Amino acid sequence: MARRHSAGELSYYLVIGALATLALVILVGPVLVVLATSLTDSRTIRFPPQGFSFRWYELLLDPVRSRQIHRAAENTIWVAAMAAGLATVLGTAAALAISRAGGRLGRSLDAFFMAPLVLPGLAFGLAALMYFTILGFRPSLELLILGHFIVVTPFLLRTVGASLTQLDPALLDASASLGAGRTMTFRRVTLPLIAPGIAAGAFLAFMASVDNVPVSLFLSSARTDMLPIRMWGMMESTLDVRVAAVSGTLIVVAFVLMLVMERLTGLTRRMRG
């Protein structure tokens, strides 16, 4: 016999359902608007679109008319790949050191490495510009890589740290009892078990670098143009519909990569961890 719900339970389900629907509309609505706008046949950004066409995606792929966008995209991908690579190595090492330190020292180190993620992005970008200027450095791709590396390392620290908390210490003890040293234990036991967390953190670090505006805004120059800054400039000057096409491309690529990473590493579970 089916259980009958009381009026209070029905009210609760209705309120939760309404709030969930509202949150979904707020989160997904802007994405759908951008995707629809990128398919407009109009010469200006407007919603709803006046007819549908792939003309702006075709123009976006034109190597001559979209040369500056392509250069900015190349810079962005290069900086993101290098920053994520450095963060993968050093962030993993930091997570291992923090897990072994434990106690008050471990918590202090964790707070220190997580600080760039807590600080306001614009404040950190301005501080980085002033600091590197005092040291005599001029804006360059190398400086951008360094700035992005600092702000994306916490993603590696968090996902690898979550993987390490799920690591059974008995496995390490068993490896040591069989005569394996620390290096071999790390290579044959620890690394394979935390590899999904490393991969998930590297993916998050790469996407965070691609999407980073504050650091790119302060540390880039005309020769080191980054895609978010280029899109910002196009919106301010001409309201170019290619901005919507770039956004649509980024949304689709990020969605596909997220599905792949979720399938391979359980990205959502590790972010919760």
Residue 61 lies in a domain: no
Angle, to 10 degrees, between the axis of helix 7-38 and the axis of helix 242-265?
Answer: 130
- 37 and 166 within one domain: no
**CB of 172 within 8 A of CB of 239?**
no
Q: What are phi and psi of 40, to 5 degrees?
A: -70, 155
β-partners of residue 52 are 40
Task: Look at residue 182 and tell me whether its pLDDT is greater than 80.
Answer: no
d(CA 230, CA 222): 10
Instruction: Report which of 220, 199, 192, 214 is spatially closest to residue 264, judged by C-alpha positions.
Output: 199
Q: What's the confidence (pLDDT) of residue 78?
A: 92
Residue type present at position 64 = V
Residue 170 lies in a domain: yes
**CB of 11 within 8 A of CB of 25?**
no
Q: For the chain, what is the domain count?
A: 2
Tokens found for residue 67: 């040369």
d(CA 120, CA 44): 33
Residue 60 lies in a domain: no
Task: Look at residue 273 and tell me whether its pLDDT is greater than 70.
Answer: no
- 19 and 72 within one domain: no
CA dihedral of 179, 182, 183, 187, whole degrees rounded to 10: 80
Tokens found for residue 90: 């050093």
- 85 and 42 within one domain: no
Residue 119 lies in a domain: yes
Q: What's the confidence (pLDDT) of residue 1?
A: 42
Residue 2 lies in a domain: no
**CB of 50 within 8 A of CB of 42?**
yes
Q: What are phi and psi of 52, to 5 degrees?
A: -120, 140
Express each pLDDT in 190-241 by its tens digit.
778 888 888 888 888 898 888 888 888 888 877 788 888 888 877 777 777 7
- 247 and 132 within one domain: yes
What is the pTM (predicted TM-score) of this model? 0.80
- 247 and 118 within one domain: yes
- 80 and 33 within one domain: no
- 268 and 138 within one domain: yes
d(CA 139, CA 142): 8
- 49 and 176 within one domain: no
- 82 and 36 within one domain: no
- 124 and 27 within one domain: no
Residue 97 lies in a domain: yes
* CATH number, domain with residue 212: 1.10.3720.10
- Give, in degrees to the nearest 5, the angle at Cα 235 between 233 and 241: 125
Task: Look at residue 10 and tell me whether its pLDDT is greater than 80.
Answer: no
- 140 and 85 within one domain: yes
For residue 43, the enclosing domain spans: 7-55
Q: What count of Cα atoms within 13 Å lies in the side-chain half-sphere of residue 135? A: 10
Q: In b/e form, how buried is each residue of 124-137, taking b as 16+ CB within 10 angstroms? A: bbeebbeebeeeee
Residue 177 lies in a domain: yes
Which residues touch 135 (CB under 8 Å, ≥6 apart)?
none
Express each pLDDT in 22-66 by its tens digit.
888 888 888 888 888 878 777 777 777 777 778 888 888 888 888
- 238 and 178 within one domain: yes
